Structure 1
């Protein structure tokens, strides 16, 4: 069977760095931090009092009041970034075969705020079960894909992947695979998350996963820095339109890049900690390269998982050195989480967008907030510290790893 080629024809972003693709990408290149004091709730009694929130967001700028009542914030974000990506793709929905168009989305947690509010309201009552009729459909993670497909009338594959912080990349790999196999021509894919709520912050604080650098939120996410102390929680959404190459070419579509491969693996080690030798991270990059039928030396840029945790950053670098050997020193490596924070189930989507834009614009966004070298990292490695770097980027690999030992990698290449 001859597999189809898959390309990216549309992008949409709603992030802590900007509420559209153009602003997001511009601020990535400028090295802007999206971190600041939490405004979603009073964080006074929390160990961490800051996050990377979406800013200047009013749902009534996008939806009417009736729609807002039916959607958790993570679904709102999904709808907005998907709409931008559809518009960016130039798809003529009237001419599109919607039986061959689908939605595969990712979210690690889903409607956490909705769950928190409804359960809290119940627990403070007299035990009478007075729940909002929209409670379940607002909360469940799969509603995001369902709502997107309803809006556009897409009748093809439709579901949500849930694999913690690897969710969006799993969704992209699945979407790519359906197109490769000829089961779809067009897929909306990506991920969204809205976990900057009391339950989210309190839970991650209890795990000691978050930075507690409350005196300097904008410098708290510092991947690969010696003094990193945890990740910064972020929120938002990223959407990509994946399309079968001949389908895109026939309609004269703008093509950002080709999606040439995806890899998946499991650490099978610990519920939250990465494998200390980067076993799963090594395997997933090897799997992605094999799927792409590419050699390690053909990769120019890696957008790493790079969460700014003491253990995670080390294990990922060990894996990169094993996979790429001497070529590791020719790579540009960067963690855009240093600017966006960690968007959990949406991380893979906005980082894939950064990888695609690096190919389009031939520039690598930086890893900001580097102050002190960590002696555990080879100084010959180029982490693109503090300033974007112009370079030839013909192929980029994006890594996303999640609690439970889930590992995903996706490879993009400049279109021939």
Structure 2
């Protein structure tokens, strides 16, 4: 099919996060302003500078049989759980080919991870050192591959139009969804299962992030540690989990009578080329991504009612994002309800864009913006309409939501969704 510029819609959502084992419980947790951050207890964590994290609320072993789980890294387990929920939510009852509603050659998968199977890699190295070569799992390589989650989801749903894994640090999940939108828009696929996953709560990544001063060391206040836009914010809190959406051409969705959440308008992408870990402080790279989105779509600033901000709770990053919004939208930012859901979930790295896309979709569906928690003293440089403490009703009529994701390496991705 050579069709281009086809309308893309969201027909299914799924998630497993520190707030809940599915999309509905995650959303309820966000609306309630509940933190999923906990203290890390035990000898394994005792010597670390950071002893807090946001682990998933429901262990994947509760829904994945042990024989299958043993062949999957934790990141792939999360991806599979979220994808299964999204696939069923979209109305599919079996894998492509077995379910006549979708042709496997017209079905793609794009599941991202910022780090991949890091827990498998580190744990199996410990096995090698402590127990010897013969005890290393023969499944180690497919488990540690960054494309392992995408490949396993592709196998699950029977995707044959392409299985892809963008790796762009904390922008990975959003980039995956943007890539999926383009797969449908340009005619490569009719349906794509897309999102992001991450499982990196392990002493080595935490020690490394902690030593580079990127993470909050508020060990005495786990649930208050992730505080975007607060004057005393001191770094992000590591989270884990996955968020997945089913994207579909509008024609394909209508043909099978699918329920549509919203339209996926498109993406804006740029790179800072400034520093391997620090954002460009004026927000110029982010502004270019925002402007690219606006230039490649029919979005008007006045219709943007909600933004799920990247806002990780770092001193530089939170302010750079708002500076970029002001550069592109000016005074229109004053009517854009800004939510920083990482204040509740922690930062899921490559999974963040997927989970926050699910939140953006539900914000449009329910016309409500989730709150940002833990802001005791709003930074004066956070010059935007930040939704604080309690969820807020969004306006009636056609509205658009943005989901911002930025990553180490200077990756900037902005996604846009619109009510239907």
Regarding TM over 0.5, the answer is yes
Q: Is the 8 A contact 1:38 1:53 kept in 2?
A: no
Give the SS at the match of 1:409: strand
1:256 and 1:360 in contact (8 A); partners too = yes
Deviations 1:55-74 (A, max 9, x none): 24151x22222211110100
CA RMSD of aligned residues (A): 1.5
- Assess if the C-alpha contact under 8 Å between 2:37 and 2:223 holds in 1: yes
For residues 291-345 of structure 1, what are the alpha-carbon distances to aligned partners after superposition, in whole Å with 9 as ceiling and x for unaligned?
2221222211111100000010111111011111010111111110000000000
Residue 40 to residue 241, structure 1, CA distance change in 2 (3 Å): farther
Q: Does the CA-based 8 Å contact 1:113-1:197 persist in structure 2?
A: yes
Match of 1:114 among 105, 117, 120: 120
Segments of 5+ residues of structure 1 without an aligned counterpart are none
> C-alpha distance in 2, partners of 1:41/1:116?
18
Note the C-alpha offset of 1:226.
0.2
Paired with 2:378 and 2:178, the residues of 1 have a C-alpha distance of 35
Query: Per-residue CA shift, 1:19-49, capped at 9, x if unaligned?
Result: 0111000110110001111259731111111
> In the aligned structure 2, how far is the partner of 1:350 from the partner of 1:2?
28
Question: Equivalent of 1:386, from 389, 402, 406?
Answer: 389
Q: Which residue of 2 aligns with 1:86?
A: 87
In structure 2, list runs of 5 or more residues that go unmatched: none
Measure, in 2, the Cα distance between the counterparts of 1:122 and 1:152: 34
Partner of 2:299: 294
Q: CA deviation at 1:261?
A: 1.3
Matched residues in 2 for 1:293 and 1:215: separation? 47
Say whether the 8 Å CA contact 1:261–1:289 is kept in structure 2: no
- Structure 1 residue 343 corresponds to structure 2 residue 343: no
Structure 1 residue 153 and structure 2 residue 154: aligned? no
Residue 47 of structure 1 corresponds to: 49
Tell which deviates more after alignment, 287-296 or 206-215.
287-296
The size of the alignment, in residue pairs, is 411
Structure 1 residues 99-152: Cα deviation after superposition (integer angstroms, max 9, x where no partner): 1001011100011110111222334467x5763211111000101111111122
Instruction: Find 1:307's aligned residue among 305, 312, 315.
Output: 312
Alpha-carbon spacing, 1:138–1:257, altered in 2? closer, same or farther (3 Å): same
**Is this contact kept in 2: 1:14–1:80, CA < 8 A?**
yes
CA distance in 1 between counterparts of 2:44 and 2:254 reads 51
Give the equivalent residue in structure 2 for 1:9: 11
2:55–2:240 Cα contact (<8 Å) kept: yes
Q: 1:414 to 1:41 in 2, by over 3 A?
A: farther
- Give matches, 1:17-416, under 5 Å: 17-38=19-40, 42-59=44-61, 61-93=62-94, 94-95=99-100, 96-124=102-130, 131-378=136-383, 381-392=384-395, 394-415=399-420
Secondary structure of the structure 2 residue equivalent to 1:237: strand
- Describe the SS at the equivalent of 1:32: coil
Aligned equivalents of 2:161 and 2:336: distance in 1? Answer: 38
Separation in structure 2 between the aligned mates of residue 40 and residue 158 of structure 1, nearest angstrom: 39
Taking structure 1 as reference, are residues 40 and 412 closer, same or farther at Cα in structure 2, changes over 3 Å only? farther
TM-score, normalising length: structure 2 = 0.95
Find the aligned partners of 1:338 and 1:385 in 2 and give their Cα distance. Answer: 11
Between stretches 87-96 and 268-277, larger displacement belongs to: 87-96
Query: Does the 8 Å CA contact 1:6/1:245 hold for their aligned counterparts?
Result: yes
Residue 250 to residue 39, structure 1, CA distance change in 2 (3 Å): farther
